[in-house]
Amino acid sequence: MLVIGVALLVLVASVLPVTTGLGSRRRGTSVPVAVLAGLAFPLTWVWWYVHDEDPYRHADRAHAL
């Protein structure tokens, strides 16, 4: 029973790094960089957020309400 619990824990813990690595590969990075992105997935997510979404960007006057 302990083996099953550990296997499930490893499976759940590996989902985020694997999907982050796959997402990095889909964004066009090389395989080694995608593996590193998966291993450092929290930092990768922060980088993607800052790079993709500029929270301090000002809206155009045409789009402002």
CB 16 within 8 A of CB 41: yes
In a domain, 33, yes or no: yes
In a domain, 7, yes or no: no
3-state secondary structure of 3: helix
CB 22 within 8 A of CB 34: yes
Amino acid found at 18: V
In a domain, 48, yes or no: yes
pLDDT of amino acid 12: 85
In a domain, 22, yes or no: yes
In a domain, 2, yes or no: no
In a domain, 34, yes or no: yes
pLDDT of amino acid 65: 54
In a domain, 6, yes or no: no
Domain extent at residue 34: 13-52
Total domains in the chain come to 1
- The pTM assigned to this predicted structure is 0.64
Per-residue tens of pLDDT for the chain, all 65 residues: 899 999 999 998 889 999 999 999 998 999 999 999 999 988 998 888 888 766 566 655 555 55
